[in-house]
Chains A and B, each alone.
Chain A
Amino acid sequence: MSAGVETPPRTGRARLEESERIGARDAVRLFRRALLYVRPFRARFGAKLLLVLFSLLPMLLLPWPVKILVDHVILGLPIDAPPTPYPFFVAPFVHALAGASTTAILLATAGVQALLLLLVGAIGTSLREQDQADAWLSSGQDTATRTENEANAGFSFAGGLIGLVDFRFTLRLTQDLNHHYRSRLFERIQSLPMAAFDDERIGDAVYRVMNDTPSITNASYRLLLTPIAAPIGLLLSAGVLQLQFGAHPPLVLTALAFLPVALLTSIPFAGLARRRGERSRKAGATTTSTVEEGITNVLAVQSLGGGEREHARFARDSWEGFTRFRSVVLVGMLAFVAALVPSVLLVLPAFLYVVDLVIAKQITVGDSTLLFTYLVQIGFFAVELGALWIRLQESAPGLHRVFFLMDLPSERDPEDAFALPPARGIDGAESAARRADAGVRFDAVSFRFADGTRALDDVSLQARRGEVTALVGPAGAGKTTLASLVPRFHDPSTGRVLLDGVDLARVRRDSLRDRIAFVFQETVLFDDTVLENVRLGNPRASEAEVWQALERAGAADFVRDLPDGLATRLGRAGGKLSVGQKQRLAIARALVREADVLIFDEPTSALDPETEQRLVAALRDAGRTRVVLVIAHRLSTIRSADQIVFLESGRIRERGRHEELMALPDGAYRRFVTLQRGDGFAAGAGAPSQP
């Protein structure tokens, strides 16, 4: 029996890491899943598509005002007998102007252009003369800052009023989508079982919620909008080309050829893009974790003089993140170059074709630029479509990271779980059997951690209502593990835990935890007021009730001394209070809860003897109508318990009241207590005088 050698509590999962390799098939699955998440928003996506159509249609109108001005104002050609007939949507306008003076035509056309400017933000066909409503703010040279823009993406093909409306709609849609996904992910993270949080890197989780969730929106836009918007744009551009210059199949086909070029040349890079993207994100998450940990532990860093170490660690992690991002950029460049070669081969003959048209006087010089512009525009839409696959790969790693967390098993209650029936009081009318049931009962409970370590071995124990039960024993005996079975932070491997005769495995966790107040060994407080921190235990508690709990926990005095009393903000990690004060607040938090099972894990470790005695008295008092479980090392805390359970290596060694156990000759408890008193204290050099 090795006293003092402990096996650490193991968790169910080695590390919350997922594999880096996302194959092409996995990627498709990810995208499909992303689409499923979008279903609730499909009406708005439909509306967005309509808006896209609306914003692209004006493209048809743009070339005509210029043509009218040149042909009919400058050149003075009669407007009702144009060299080439006008399309059906322009003809009415032209007819209305029949016989008007050039100035009138000018004014009318200018008016139309002004209208177009107002509505669509375009006055001509060149890029300079077209506006697109968007708000791409500056982003940095790393993945995290890029996703800021993604998370708040608003864009439109048009400018002007229509563009603004489109932009606003899109921005809201993007934000609502992202808000929805972030909330779901956050919810899922919160519902993970306790054990999962042992390994969780907080910074990593922050990164996933903030920077990986926009991938879902991104992927959805690419999957739903581009395949429809791009062909529309393509058709419209080709349509205008046709209308202006008549059919030029070689040109149109050449422009369309960009699609397969973009597609085929980008596919080989898709896998690379995914992997590099994943690594970039992971590096970013690591940096976030490093920062988070370093700042949270700043007390340790400063007092241990670890500043240089932290500096080195951070600098290394941060630069790693940048390097990984650069490799993503590099992959993009490689893909670009790969696509460039065939593209150039396509553009050259197209250009020469246009030159031939000019030489053959089939079109004018001015027209040639216009023609080329349309070529570029068709090509642009073709590339949008063709590069879809590789652009999607940007989203794949983010999706993977999000869905990984979503898929982790959460604390889920079985289908037929029911709420814990309300507590039964103890009254004389109860039958002996029912009274025997009252309280927490461990029935042949064993517990084994995921890695096989046995923490509890066939423990049967009753903590009766109206009594204080103390769990005592050397470190690693399994006391905390046993206690954590009651609120079901873990479930026993074999055996049952019952409360008032009800098997807890069948009960809904939230109803169970409502009835339990658990005080952890290490106090956690929040950056909120004292009142709110204590009220975490019972949100409905009144201020009077809170003060009462503070009194009983021995915390009322120092709270009164605080500058704002109950309203004092505790600051991060309750940094303004001493550990003992924090501990008492945590106890007050437990006491204010309307719980009938109180579990205290080392509640007095940081308290001085005087405060400790007061607390013990308070526990006794609370214990009169409740089940009270106390885990402690200190004799002064446990000796007045109604039942002391001595655990060692996961088994119950002895059980009984203090006097009974002390009377046992050579009892384990007795030995334990004797050590505590300091009687068994060996004299060492430098030790002070002995009693």
Chain B
Amino acid sequence: MTQEENGAARASQAALAALGGGGRADRLGVRVVLQILRRCLPLLRDVRGHLFALVGGFSATALLLLPLVLLSIDLIWTRVLGGESLTPIEASVLGLDPAAAAGGGALSAELRRAVAERVVYAWAVLLAFVVPAVLALFYYQTWILQRINQLLRVRLFDRLQALSLRFHAESRVGDAIYRLHQDSSTVTQLIEVLILTPLFAASRFVFSLGVVLLFDPGLALLLAGVWPPALLLAAYVAQRLRARFRIAREAQSDLTSRIQETLAGIRVLKAYGAEPREQARFERDSRAAFDAAFRARMLFAVFGVATFWLVGALVLISTALATLATRDGAPVFAGRLFAAAGFTAWNLGLYNFFKQRFGEGGGATRSLLRTWARVQDVAIGLDRVFELLDLEPEVQDAPDAVAAPPVTESVAFRHVSFSYAPGRPTLRDVSFEVTPGTITAIVGPTGSGKSTLVALLLRLFDPESGEILLDGVDLRRMRLAELRARVAIALQENLLFGATIRENLRFAAPDASDAEMRRAAAVACADEFIDALPEGYDTLLGERGTKLSTGQRQRLSIARAVLKDTPILVLDEPTASLDAATELRVLQRLAEWGRGRAIFLITHRLSTVRRAHRILVLEEGRLAEQGSHDELVARVGGVYRRLVEHEREPGDEAAARDRRAAGAAP
């Protein structure tokens, strides 16, 4: 099992390396792009009800309007402007006297004006209804697109939260922000670029092609002939576009990261006068981002202009040919079919009509090509999103995960080994067992693996070999959420959020009551200073809790862990920033509160360590010694004894004398 896990870890590391370094979409062409787009279909499925409603709405409007539009075109073009008489139906629809309007060759001027007026007013009234309806539909569309985007964002966020700390150590925060915002937003373009535009543009093209065919097959061939060079152009450009879009996005993401990192470390930077250096770096990254965007957009624009040239050239040629045909009055191809409609030979009216249609066909081609170019950007954005979504969290629930036990018997490590990076083990063959109701201290030089031990207990990582058992059940067999609900931890880095104290305390225990919260604060000796604050528990902390002193944050951290009320409590250097008096009180209260629980204390401080029932001494990843304070101190040359001796004051004779006089061990 370890081998597989190792493999998985390595695979995800390889994926990490590929992250942002020229991903999958650059290699193959159309197929991969379509693959990516296809992956988004499940997202659309989530809102399919709304999509149907939207499409239904637009279709209904279109269907309603289409006959009206056709009718109006006929009325205006042929009757009003052209001067022909109305059909009886049209006359009655308009409320005109059929006798006067229909029949006979032409319409009188007054009638033409009348028809024009009626059509126009009818449309004015119609618009009063249609416009709000269409706007409402667009608003609805916005809402739907936002919903889709939100779904993707949330999925991405959850994935980020679940990924291992190893991933986070290697990645930049700005990159996550960028993927979450900019890259995921490309999904809103999907409907348009994948469905709507291609559909409409393609149908426009086909329709135009059909009409042109009726005029002259040669010209239709000309129109269709736009595609081979267009496809070549598109193929040539597509991969380059994708590459440039990717670089542009990465550069932007880097810039975002640069800003975030500088601001996160601004204190140190200011203290060391590094602002000018950071400014130079920022400007360099900004310039790089703009240059990358420039190259991408320049290519995009050139492609747009080039496609217009292509299409335009064909339009010109077709116009020239049509002009000649009209000049000569050449017969139209489908003339025989449409003799009745006066559609026999080229004339001015047909000439204009032809030009319109051909231009329409060209326009549709342009639209498709332009959309294809935009699709490249969408694909890259989505690919970056999927890169992240595809990363497997290192630690996941087993398919047959069981409930976590109540931890009433033991917490055991058996031959546990672990390394963050291959070849540099952090823990080697560590074994111990702890019973609830005891305080276990973990000591050792820095880097000896103390915090790692805890990380493994929380299953932030899985051990490479060995097992960790709660009441005899291996951690990996339990449901992760339940396991984490059994352990509360106050970390060494006091990570607090920019929220109220109350919200921070309740972070791990959202259902805790106010009374419980106060009790927890009291255990951590935090209640005193909280009550002294003007807004008490509702005081808003700065981001990362920067409004408080380190000691206060530390106590909040402890209170937060205590409030979770778990059978296992881990405190990582809980009193490093507290003065001795406060430390004493906190430890006393913790000891009381901790009856029946398994408490782990990681610490250097002798005063803290002495409280523990058992002391585990780590050295270079190995459990060097374990036992009570007295046992360990008695071992001459032992690691623990050496640590203790360093903490003592070597020259303080008086104190040592006092102690020896009292019969205590040195």
CB of B323 closer than 8 Å to a CB of A: yes
Contact present for A340 and B263 (CB under 8 Å): no
Which of these, A138, A142, A524, A608, contacts B268 with CB under 8 Å?
A524
A593: B residues at CB distance < 8 A: 272
Main secondary structure of the interface of B (DSSP, over half): helix
State whether A676 touches B607 (Cβ < 8 A).
yes
Given A164-B302, A202-B543, A293-B543, are A311 and B584 neighbors across the interface (CB < 8 Å)? no
Closest to B596 in A: A686
Q: Which of B274, B282, B315, B591 contacts A687 (CB 8 A)?
A: B591
Choose from B169, B278, B324, B580 the contact partner of A576 (Cβ within 8 Å).
Answer: B169
A179 within 8 A of B: yes
Q: Which residues of B contact A210 (CB under 8 A)?
A: 255-256, 259
Is B24 located at the chain interface by the 8 A CB criterion?
A: no
**Cα distance A571–B80 in the bound complex, in angstroms:** 75
B265 within 8 Å of A by Cβ? yes
CB contact between B186 and one of A140, A164, A175, A611 (< 8 Å): that residue = A140
A496 CA to B252 CA, complexed, in Å? 46
How far, in angstroms, from A581 to B489 measured CA to CA in the complex?
A: 21
Docked complex Cα distance between A315 and B145 (Å): 16
Q: What is the CA–CA distance of A293 and B286 in the complex, to the nearest angstrom?
A: 23
Contact B581 A5 (CB under 8 A): no
A174-221 contacts to B, CB under 8 A, are 175-176, 178-179, 182-183, 186-187, 189-191, 194, 197-203, 205-206, 209-210
Chain B residues with Cβ below 8 Å from A685 are: 591-592, 595
Tell which of B132, B174, B495, B546 touches A198, judged by Cβ atoms closer than 8 Å. Answer: B546
What distance in Å separates the Cβ of A382 from its nearest Cβ neighbour in chain B?
A: 20
Q: Which residues of A contact B323 (CB under 8 A)?
A: 69, 73-74, 106
- B481 partner, pick from A183, A305, A678, beta carbons under 8 A: A305
Contacts A186-B282, A689-B629; is A606 near B424 (CB within 8 Å)? Answer: no
User: Do residues A141 and B146 form an inter-chain contact, with CB atoms below 8 A?
Assistant: yes
Task: Give the secondary structure class of A's interface.
Answer: helix
- In angstroms, Cα B320 to Cα A146, docked, is 42
The residues of A that contact B588 with a CB separation of less than 8 Å are 682, 684
Which of B87-95, B289-297, B465-473 lies at the interface?
A: B289-297
Of A6, A299, A682, the contact of B552 (CB 8 Å cutoff) = A6
A102 to B273, CA, bound (A): 79
B residues near A293, Cβ cutoff 8 Å: 497-498, 543-544
Find chain B residues with CB under 8 A from A3 CB: 579, 581-582
**In the complex, B327 has a CB within 8 A of chain A:** yes
Could you tell me if B263 and A200 are in contact, using CB atoms closer than 8 angstroms? yes
Contacts of B169 in A (CB 8 A): 571-573, 575-576
B139 within 8 A of A: yes
Binds A, one of B48-56, B57-65, B157-165, B410-418: B157-165
B610, A688: Cβ atoms closer than 8 Å: yes
> Is the pair A337, B131 in contact by a Cβ cutoff of 8 Å?
yes
Given contacts A137-B377, A685-B591, A685-B592, contact A584 B446 (CB under 8 A): yes
Confirm or deny: B606 has a beta carbon within 8 angstroms of a beta carbon on chain A: yes
Q: Is A117 an interface residue (CB 8 A)?
A: yes
Those of A475-490 within 8 Å (CB) of chain B: 475-476, 480, 487, 489
Residue pair B547, A513 in contact (C-beta under 8 Å) = no
Query: Are A608 and B643 within 8 A (Cβ)?
Result: yes
Please state if A326 and B611 are interface contacts (CB–CB under 8 Å): no
Asked whether A133 lies within 8 Å of B528 as measured between CB atoms, the reply is no
- Given A131-B304, A322-B150, A197:B266 Cβ within 8 A: yes
Alpha-carbon distance A690/B532, docked complex (angstroms): 35
Q: Is A227 an interface residue (CB 8 A)?
A: no
Residue of A nearest to B146 (CB): A322
Nearest chain A CB to B5 CB, angstrom units: 18
Contact A688 B604 (CB under 8 A): no
User: In the complex, which residue of chain B has the Cβ closest to the Cβ of A193?
Assistant: B270
Interface centre among A190, A309, A520, A593, by most chain B C-beta atoms within 10 angstroms, is A190
| Cα distance, A134 to B182, chains bound together (Å) | 20
Instruction: Using known A-B contacts A160-B309, A524-B264, determine if residue A299 contacts B493 with beta carbons closer than 8 Å.
Output: yes
* In the complex, per-residue mask of B339-379: 1 if CB is within 8 Å of any chain A CB, else 0: 00000000010011000000110110000000000100110
The answer to whether the Cβ of A39 comes within 8 Å of any Cβ in the partner chain is no
Across the interface, do A117 and B312 meet the contact criterion of CB distance under 8 Å? yes
B642 in the interface, Cβ–Cβ < 8 Å? Answer: yes
CA distance A555 to B176 in the complex (A): 32
Nearest A residue to B161 via CB reads A307
Contact of A183 among B149, B279, B362, B496 (CB under 8 A): B279
Asked if B261 is an interface residue, CB under 8 A from chain A, the answer is yes
**B606 and A190: CB pair below 8 A?**
no
Contact B80 A355, beta carbon cutoff 8 Å = yes
Q: Does A529 contact B (CB under 8 A)?
A: no
Which residues of the partner chain A approach B381 to less than 8 Å between Cβ atoms?
A: 138
Q: Report the stretch among A40-48, A344-352, A392-400 that lies at the interface.
A: A344-352
A288 B282 Cβ-Cβ under 8 A: no
B584–A182 contact, CB under 8 A? Answer: no
Within 8 A of B (CB), among A436-462: none
A690–B377 alpha-carbon span in the complex (Å): 70
Q: Does B215 make an interface contact (CB < 8 A)?
A: no
On whether the beta carbons of A480 and B549 are closer than 8 Å, the reply is yes
Near A by CB (< 8 A), chain B positions 122-173 give: 124, 127, 131-132, 135, 138-139, 142-143, 145-146, 149-150, 153-154, 157-158, 160-162, 165, 168-173
Contacts of B460 in A (CB 8 A): 299, 302-303
Return the CB mask of A2-27 against B: 1 if under 8 Å, else 0: 11111111110000000000000000
| Chain A CB within 8 A of B116 CB | yes
Question: With A159-B305, A678-B607, A691-B665 in contact, do A476 and B549 touch (Cβ < 8 Å)?
Answer: yes
Q: Does A643 contact B (CB under 8 A)?
A: no
Q: Return chain A residues, CB-CB under 8 Å to B498.
A: 201, 289, 293
B594 adjacent to chain A (CB < 8 Å)? yes
Please measure, in the bound complex, the distance between the C-alpha atom of A159 and the C-alpha atom of B309, giving whole angstroms: 9
* B547→A198 contact, CB < 8 A: yes
Most buried by B among A6, A302, A583: A302
1/0 contact string of B512-533 vs chain A (CB within 8 Å)? 0000000000000100110011
Docked-complex contact A294 and B157, CB < 8 angstroms: yes
On chain A, the residues within 8 Å of B446 by CB distance are 578-581, 583-584, 606-608, 611
Docked pose: A607 CA to B460 CA in angstroms: 24
Whether B31 sits at the interface, judged by CB under 8 Å, is: no
Max chain A C-beta neighbours (<10 A), residue from B139, B294, B564, B578: B294
Q: A183-B282, A337-B131 are in contact. Are A138 and B193 (CB under 8 A)?
A: yes
Q: Contact check, B173 vs A295: say whether CB atoms are below 8 A apart.
A: yes
If A163-B305, A199-B542 touch, whether A299 touches B165 (CB-CB below 8 Å) is yes
Interface-forming stretch among A87-95, A427-435, A633-641? Answer: A633-641
- Chain B, residue nearest A538 (CB): B272
- State whether A686 touches B181 (Cβ < 8 A): no
Which residue from A289, A315, A579, A633 sits with its C-beta under 8 Å from B578?
A633
**Interface residue A297 (Cβ < 8 Å from any Cβ of B):** yes
Which residue of chain A lies nearest to B582 when distances are taken between CB atoms in the complex? A4
Known: A516-B271, A691-B665. 15 other contacts (CB 8 A): A5-B532, A11-B547, A70-B348, A163-B305, A203-B177, A289-B543, A299-B495, A311-B158, A513-B273, A521-B577, A525-B265, A606-B446, A608-B446, A633-B580, A678-B606
The 10 closest A-B pairs by CB, nearest first: A140-B185, A580-B446, A575-B169, A609-B646, A691-B664, A300-B495, A135-B297, A571-B169, A675-B580, A138-B189
14 A-B pairs, CB-CB below 8 angstroms?
A: A4-B582, A134-B301, A135-B296, A152-B297, A175-B294, A294-B161, A302-B458, A304-B484, A319-B150, A510-B273, A527-B261, A575-B165, A583-B446, A686-B437
